[in-house]
């Protein structure tokens, strides 16, 4: 419902196309677009912070035991970085998929 409201607000500058108010409407339009682009990141911010803490702990562990388990830890680090990349882009991809499927749902 909130997404529909913002999509409606995005169409507002097209409906109120007046030359006098055009700069203000374009500014509102751009701010709403920026908010919509940042919305998936804001929704998944706790997950990202948790992943960052896990990554820092793993790096600390790697530094503490660098001479003992270096090959195994490097593989674990690479796997964790791959997982981090997947989890970073998954919310954005899901959000874009929702935007694409929204006209079909209406």
- Predicted local confidence at residue 13, as pLDDT: 60
Q: What is the pLDDT of residues 55-89, one digit of tens each?
A: 888 777 767 766 666 677 677 778 888 887 777 78
Over residues 19-48, the mean pLDDT reads 71
Would you list the domain boundaries of the chain? 50-63+70-101
Type and span of the H or E element at 54: helix 45-64
pLDDT grade for 37, boundaries at 50, 70 and 90 = confident
- Predicted local confidence at residue 67, as pLDDT: 64
Please state, as a whole number, how many other Cβ atoms lie within 10 Å of the Cβ of residue 23.
9
Residue 38 has pLDDT above 60, yes or no: yes
Residue 42 has pLDDT above 60, yes or no: yes
Terminal C-alpha separation, the chain: 12
Alpha carbon of 76 to those of 48, 80, 94: distances in Å? Answer: 19, 6, 27
Residue 19 has pLDDT above 60, yes or no: no
pTM, two decimals, is 0.30
């Amino acid at each position: 419902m909130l997404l529909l409201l913002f999509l409606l607000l995005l169409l507002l500058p097209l409906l109120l196309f007046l030359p006098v108010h055009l700069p203000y409407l374009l500014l509102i339009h751009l701010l709403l677009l920026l908010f919509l682009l940042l919305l998936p990141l804001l929704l998944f911010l706790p997950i990202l912070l948790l992943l960052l803490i896990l990554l820092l702990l793993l790096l600390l562990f790697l530094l503490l035991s660098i001479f003992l388990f270096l090959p195994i830890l490097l593989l674990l680090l690479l796997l964790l970085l791959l997982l981090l990349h997947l989890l970073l882009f998954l919310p954005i991809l899901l959000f874009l998929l929702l935007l694409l499927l929204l006209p079909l749902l209406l």
